[in-house]
Amino acid sequence: MTTLRRKPVVPLAATVLVLGLPRLAAAQGELNTGDTAWMLTSSALVLFMTIPGLSLFYAGLVRAKNVLSVMMQCFAITCMVTVLWTVYAYGLVFGDGGSLNGFIGFGKFFLADIEVGTVSGTIPESVFQMFQLTFAIITPALMVGAFAERMKFSAMMVFMALWVTIVYAPVAHWVWGGGFLQDMGVIDFAGGIVVHISAGIAALVLCIMLGKRSGYPTTSMAPNSLVLTVVGTSMLWVGWFGFNAGSAGAADGTAGMAMAVTHISAAIAGLTWMLWEWSNYGKPSVLGIATGTIAGLAAITPASGSVGPVGAIVIGFTAGATCYWGANRLKRLFGYDDSLDVFGVHGIGGIVGVLLTGAFASDALGGSMENLDIGNQLRLQAVGIAVTVVYSGVLTFVLVKVVDGMIGIRVTAEEESTGLDLALHDERGFNL
């Protein structure tokens, strides 16, 4: 039987939210001001990843005529998911689903029973739900890069509302809310399955069904501003410390090691991508090192609470190499137009990270889990990956069909040629 120094499966594994204990027990928790301060900071850091981090990262990568459209999509998703989370989605993830709790939660509508004195573990439940909300925001926002420059704004809003409800909430419950993947022992400390695989697979399905941008791949579609992209990457890197270290749910040693391995993996992956590109094309690019760094951050996410520096080095190197292959060779091989390589970076990076967690979480390889049966854990990690790939892929396909049938999903050829900034929002990102 596996023994953990600190259980890394759920951000607040001992909380009443996960265990489904009565609210009275929650109120008897002992508040820790240090943990609370760290979780307040982490919540702000993760929100900082979406607006402005992800917004600027994507804005720099698209053509100038679409720069505002991707920023608008990220901003609007932030607003909409916040409302959905407050009304019902928090309850779907962390509510008690009764006989269906292995698959979905229920209750806590409009954040019912969350009061000033309600404590989850050592932090207020109001802070816990805010931290988790920022994950629900960034997951659909990641997909914006896959369909950039060609999806209707109205269709995007409807699709994302449905996707968060039908895909994100159940998967998050399976892994963090007391669902069947958590019960099986699948490790996903900060969202390799919940965030990166679910969004990465959905992005792949969505961009294939939406079709290629007009002129792709023969027409030049160079980024309009790599300066914006590097600034956005830097913000994502810093914000990721809240993403991973905050998932410890406390200001403790687990958070400290999660922050360290997050930084190591990002650095290794960035260098790996840069060197591989340098050897193949003769020159290193800022776009390459920035994208590689994001791949390393995505891959270390599920492992960050349970691996050590050696695991971070291996995961970062593997992510840099495999995501480079996915964003270049694989995409060219199959010819799909994943505009900003969401699947190549987040989908493949998430899969690599979740799988390697099964090995490098072992204390024999520098991880935090004692007496880990590596073979069995690798099997469990593979099951978690497979279930999420199938669920997210199939449901995304269905939702795209539904939304396309309702209101149409793609802009017209004229709107695409004009650019979505003017065609959909009647604004320009740059008035030069």
Return all residues near 181 (Cβ < 8 A) that are at least 6 apart.
174, 175, 188, 193, 383, 384, 387
Q: How confident is the model at residue 27 (pLDDT cuts 50, 70, 90)?
A: very low
Closest CA to 316 of 280, 274, 285: 274
Contact 119, 32 (CB under 8 A): no
Task: List, for residues 119-163, the tens digit of each pLDDT value.
Answer: 888 999 999 999 999 999 999 999 999 999 999 999 999 999 999
pLDDT at residue 118 greater than cutoff 90? no
Q: How far apart are CA 272 and CA 288, in angstroms?
A: 10
Closest CA to 258 of 357, 373, 377: 357
User: What CATH number is given to the structural domain containing 206?
Assistant: 1.10.3430.10
Prior bond to 217 cis, omega within 30?
yes
Q: How far apart are CA 21 and CA 43, in angstroms?
A: 24
* Token pair 């979480």 in the structure block, residue: 361
- Encoded amino acid at 235, one letter: M
pLDDT of residue 266: 98
Residue 3 lies in a domain: no
Task: List, for residues 296-322, the tens digit of each pLDDT value.
Answer: 999 999 999 999 999 999 999 999 999
Q: For the chain, how long is the longest CA-to-CA vector? A: 65
Q: How far apart are CA 125 and CA 174, in angstroms?
A: 20
Residue 69 lies in a domain: yes
pLDDT at residue 177 greater than cutoff 70? yes
Q: How far apart are CA 217 and CA 215, in angstroms?
A: 6
pLDDT at residue 14 greater than cutoff 80? no
pLDDT of residue 25: 33
pLDDT of residue 347: 98
Q: How far apart are CA 134 and CA 90, in angstroms?
A: 11
Residue 244 lies in a domain: yes
Residue 227 lies in a domain: yes
Closest CA to 432 of 275, 238, 232, 224: 224
pLDDT of residue 145: 97
Beta strands in 5-128 (DSSP E): 119-120, 123-124
Residue 424 lies in a domain: no
Residue 428 lies in a domain: no
Q: Kindly report the CA angle at 193 between 187 and 198, in degrees rounded to 5?
A: 165
Q: What are phi and psi of 373, to 5 degrees?
A: -80, 95
Residue 11 lies in a domain: no
CA atoms within 13 A on the CB side of 423: 21
pTM, two decimal places: 0.92
Beta strands in 104-229 (DSSP E): 119-120, 123-124
Q: Which structural domain, as residue segments, surrounds residue 75?
A: 17-418
Report which of residues 83 and 30 the model is more confident about.
83
Average pLDDT over residues 265-285: 97
Q: How confident is the model at residue 349 (pLDDT cuts 50, 70, 90)?
A: very high
In the chain, pLDDT over 90 holds for what percent of residues? Answer: 90
pLDDT of residue 29: 65
Q: Name the token pair of 160.
A: 């994302």
Number of domains the chain is built from = 1
DSSP-based three-state secondary structure for 373: coil
pLDDT of residue 120: 84
Residue 7 lies in a domain: no
Task: List, for residues 67-98, the tens digit of each pLDDT value.
Answer: 999 999 999 999 999 999 999 999 999 999 99
